[in-house]
Structure 1
């Protein structure tokens, strides 16, 4: 009689945990997800997915479904602050540089081109729904991992500090976010630094007066540099939902609660949001948070493996946080499938840790740091002329864009099967 396979246990029902669960469940591996909140959490964070992540969705059989619930835009741009116009409103600030993510005139924007947009909260619902539909995945809410005991052939976890709530699995995946309880229980340091600024992130309904062409906009300012990106497909002459995330300088001594007041947010909008005045911005969600650049010393301890924000944190300039987490999930799911179903060595999990840490160190950390520092350059005009990156993007040729895109495809995603072959596993 065949002994039933122990489930893979996943802490955290965010997008990374749910994606891993979907990949494993689809392949026939039993999975149990434990989420400390009473329901899927919502916060105004990630929204856009680059080509490498689109390829991961495509390979998993999810791309068309995600695209049907989201939409695709053409690329990114950097602008100066909005400027007053003759109608009494404010026009889009001068575009310093732009980064197309699809060819000019491309209206199809097939995978992996463009920026695929779907709010993190909506993506999480979709991924959990598809994971549960495999019949091999279950989820338990209001359950937090509070103890871990590892054996040679399994891992035991305790939940909610309750002596009655214990579960045994083959492996434990910590995908429980930046404040990961799993990471803390394992005693894994998460080293790096916290930026001095705070961010206030809002979901806001705005009127679309003009088509900016490149809808994800980085607005440069010494103090209140801003990201604006659409959450619903924007159409000229209509209102739609936008994510507007504004930096608050460290010298601003207001409390988080004071910054989150409607009047305080509207004052910030007046500086950074283009459009007719009065602005008529209808805020639906708001949160104030701090940003970090941190990486764990290892993403694996025995049968416990970390992924996503539980393993690394970076600032949101460049939209690389959730993308990196999903690419972690792609690599980790593949490694676990090779170990569980193909008898490959557990050493693959160490290689996963090494390779994903290397991706953060060599690519994600320096790229997001450079993105952030560009946005609060003391002089946007000077930056446009002085910064080699901006000069490159002011009139990019297809060859230049292809060269800039290479690391996003060749470094960011990890091919675990190729690594298994390379290391003879």
Structure 2
């Protein structure tokens, strides 16, 4: 079954609808060069890059359509250059919008009008994402904003346009086997009908998220730890009451910390869509996820961290609860299966290093497979180099940076954080040298040039091990 895009009145384009044939209880087979497990952003980006290179790809996705859950929404640094290289930057920019910096703030304070209203808290520090006089915000400058659900649809549509990619919704992985000689075989079932299918490919990419069925089926552990706080993610229509060029901001607090970022370009005096992500009250730790998502609980959080008159005039569009983790698989290659995105690693979302890192995985993963399938690079060396390179990026950059982003918003007393914390202090006393040093890893470390990486392994015999 091939999914073709269609249009529907909604917030942005609707997900492609699958065309489902007659249900059969017997196994049907399909075979391509690459099978991607997971039709999210990482899986679709991987398939797009492969399709652009003429590689035939099947994507299997357990859901009936692409997900609309409130997840990531901001893209920056080397991710801009990657998106530009695959022809997606301008398309995303046309549907999204740009912001220039973010801020760390104290909790909201009284508006002194005597009616209980609040204004944004004092700025502790600003983090610039482009030069103050940058009117162009070319790729690499600023924060490109577009909800993950809309990005997913764009990537899938462009992948389908290559003519080399098919997506199969309602196909949940049940079994996977990998052999270096014969390739990969995956069995799926339709969660609604129970119909079974068999997919075969030379290589597979597991991009099916933090709860990856593929990773579990391969027997790979997921070592690391889980953060104690649950996060409540909400998409909410908010009246814009204060002009701020930063838009995105952290509210620093030992318990009720949060981050907000616009999902639509804010217009003063109008209601626009925002993402507010809130640390759940530790006093409610025994509450179920459903109880945390009640209006009563969420509005109490908003009252602590959101500016505006009281009572707040907001409309919640979407809400979800999730736990956050710092985890990394011991290898991102198992036989002819490569892992990418949250299936391979996950980290705290403060700082936008989760989905962005997964997208850079997808680019490197696709390039490794193109090198192997199209350019006769040695498979073992190339795929091992992919695994090692991306694991190093997580271990030496993503993991420590995201960990400290999280701790920074709640571990330092907010009254003294601007001088106690080196990053906040540097932001408030910025020099050109400090600015270069601060942004360098986001361009020189975060993204992997697979061809250079493999060439650098030529003298390393361990890279040749299967």
TM-score category of the 2 structures, normalised to the smaller one: over 0.9
- Residues 134 and 222 (structure 1 numbering): CA distance in 2 closer, same or farther, change over 3 Å? same
1:198-219 CA-partner distances (Å, limit 9, x unpaired): 0001000001112221111011
- Aligned structure 1 segments of 4 or more residues deviating by more than 3 angstroms: 161-164
Alignment counterpart, residue 411 of structure 1, candidates 441, 445, 453 = 445
CA RMSD in angstroms, aligned pairs only: 1.6
Q: Given the alignment of the two structures, is residue 62 of structure 1 paired with residue 62 of structure 2, yes or no?
A: no
Distance 2:213 2:383 in 1: 20
Alpha-carbon displacement from aligned partner over 1:329-353 (angstroms, at most 9, x marks no partner): 1111111100000011112111110
Matched with 1:156 is 185
By how many angstroms is 1:164 displaced? 4.6
For residues 213 and 334 of structure 1, the distance between their equivalents in structure 2, rounded to whole angstroms, comes to 37
- 2:272 alignment counterpart: 240
Counterparts of residues 191-340 of structure 1 (less than 5 Å): 191-252=223-284, 253-340=286-373
Larger mean CA deviation between 393-402 and 164-173 belongs to 393-402
**Which stretch has the larger CA shift, 368-377 or 154-163?**
154-163
Deviations, residues 340-398 of structure 1 (Å, cap 9, x unaligned): 00011112111110111111110011001101111112520121221111100113233
- Name the CA distance, whole Å, in 2 between partners of 1:96 and 1:377: 14
Match of 2:387 in 1: 353
User: Per the alignment, in what secondary structure is the counterpart of residue 390 of structure 2?
Assistant: helix
Q: Distance in 2 between matches of 1:108 and 1:210?
A: 24
Shift of residue 163, structure 1, vs aligned partner = 8.5
2:106 maps to 80
Of 142, 148, 151, the match for 1:123: 151
* Structure 1 stretch displaced more, 187-196 or 372-381: 372-381
1:250-280 CA-to-partner distances (Å, cap 9, x unmatched) read 4423222111111211111011011222211
Cα distance change of structure 1 residues 262 and 44 upon mapping to structure 2, 3 Å threshold: same
SS in 2 for 1:108: coil
**Distance across 1 between alignment mates of 2:283 and 2:329:** 30
2:70 equivalent in structure 1: 44
Q: d(CA) in 1 for partners of 2:34 and 2:353?
A: 27
**Structure 1 spans left out of the alignment, 5+ residues:** none
CA shift for structure 1 position 423: 2.1
Measure, in 2, the Cα distance between the counterparts of 1:149 and 1:420.
26
Corresponding position: 1:10 with 2:71? no
Q: Which moved more, 1:145-154 or 1:206-215?
A: 145-154
- Kept after mapping to 2: 8 A contact 1:158/1:165: yes
Structure 1, residues 215-240: CA drift from partner, whole Å, max 9, x if none?
A: 11011011110010000111212111
Aligned to 1:106: 134
Structure 2 unpaired stretches of 5+ = 1-30, 459-463
Does the residue aligned with 1:176 lie in a helix, a strand or coil? coil
| Residues 255, 282 of structure 2: 8 Å contact kept | no
TM-score normalised to the size of structure 2? Answer: 0.88
Give, in angstroms, the shift of residue 249 of structure 1: 4.1
Q: Is the 8 A contact 1:155 1:169 kept in 2?
A: yes
Query: Are 1:376 and 2:410 counterparts?
Result: yes
Say which is worse superposed, 179-188 or 374-383, in terms of deviation. Answer: 374-383
How many angstroms apart in 1 are the aligned matches of 2:351 and 2:262? 15
Residue 149 of structure 1: how far off its partner (Å): 2.0
Work out whether residues 389 and 453 of structure 2, in 8 Å CA contact, stay in contact via their aligned partners in 1: no
For residue 342 of structure 1, what is the aligned residue in structure 2? 375
Secondary structure of 2:80 counterpart? helix
Between the two proteins, the alignment pairs up a number of residues equal to: 422
Q: SS in structure 2 opposite 1:380?
A: coil
For 2:312 and 2:429, the matched residues in 1 are separated by: 32
Cα deviation, residue 45, structure 1: 1.2
Please state whether the residue corresponding to 1:210 is helix, strand or coil.
Answer: coil
Tell whether the 8 Å contact from 1:196 to 1:249 is kept in structure 2 after alignment: no
**In 2, distance between residues paired with 1:150 and 1:414?**
25
Match of 2:121 in 1: 93
CA contact (8 A) 1:101 1:115 kept: yes
Q: Confirm or deny: 8 A CA contact 2:231 2:321 kept in the other structure.
A: yes
Task: Tell me what 1:178 maps to.
Answer: 210
Distance 1:213 1:272 in 2: 18
Alignment partners' CA distance in 1, 2:164 and 2:287: 48
Q: Which residue of 2 aligns with 1:167?
A: 199
